[in-house]
Amino acid sequence: MPNVGLRDHETEQFEDDPLEFIRLDLALPSGSGGAGSTEACTRRQAAADVLQALVGSGFQTEATEIVGSLINSALSMYSTNPGQEWRSKDSAVYLLTAIATETSTAKVSIWMENRVGFITNTDSYTSMA
């Protein structure tokens, strides 16, 4: 999923202003935009929303299998050269959080987790710190 990967200008933004980057990456509304503002919506968040919509509309198994293979592929790329392929790991983590959470409500902290498991070897996720 090309819209999940970090781009060069986003890496530069993180280096210049990490707090602003995280605010935008998490799609937290700014003080001026207010809650519900589309100003903070990023392409990464839009891709996560598409995945969550697929999972929520009856394609949970199919979407989870496809995203699981994308995650494994990204982690394989990362393991070949961690110093250069760190963006692959970032994409894998982002995809994992997107597919693992069907819906969330920030105000009351309710999370519904994806019940279809695709992770067979969790050591690969924890050992690649």
Question: Which of 18-32, 46-60, 93-107, 114-128 shows the lowest per-residue confidence on average (mean pLDDT)?
Answer: 114-128
Does 55 fall in a domain? yes
Specify the pLDDT at position 77: 95
- In sequence order, which ranges of the chain are alpha helices (DSSP H)? 8-16, 18-25, 43-56, 60-80, 86-100, 123-126
Q: What's the rounded Cα separation, in Å, for the pair 49 and 57?
A: 12
Does 3 fall in a domain? no
Give every CB contact of residue 15 below 8 A, 6+ residues apart in sequence: none
For residues 3-13, give the mean pLDDT: 90
Does 2 fall in a domain? no
Q: How many separate domains does the chain show?
A: 1
Q: What is the DSSP letter of 101?
A: E
Does 93 fall in a domain? yes
Specify the pLDDT at position 102: 57
Q: What's the rounded Cα separation, in Å, for the pair 2 and 44?
A: 9
- Is 100:111 a contact under the CB 8 Å cutoff? no
Kindly report the backbone phi and psi dihedral angles of residue 91, in degrees, each rounded to the nearest multiple of 5, phi listed first: -65, -40
The reported pTM is: 0.69
Res 121 pLDDT > 50: no
Specify the pLDDT at position 29: 45
Specify the pLDDT at position 59: 87
Res 128 pLDDT > 70: no
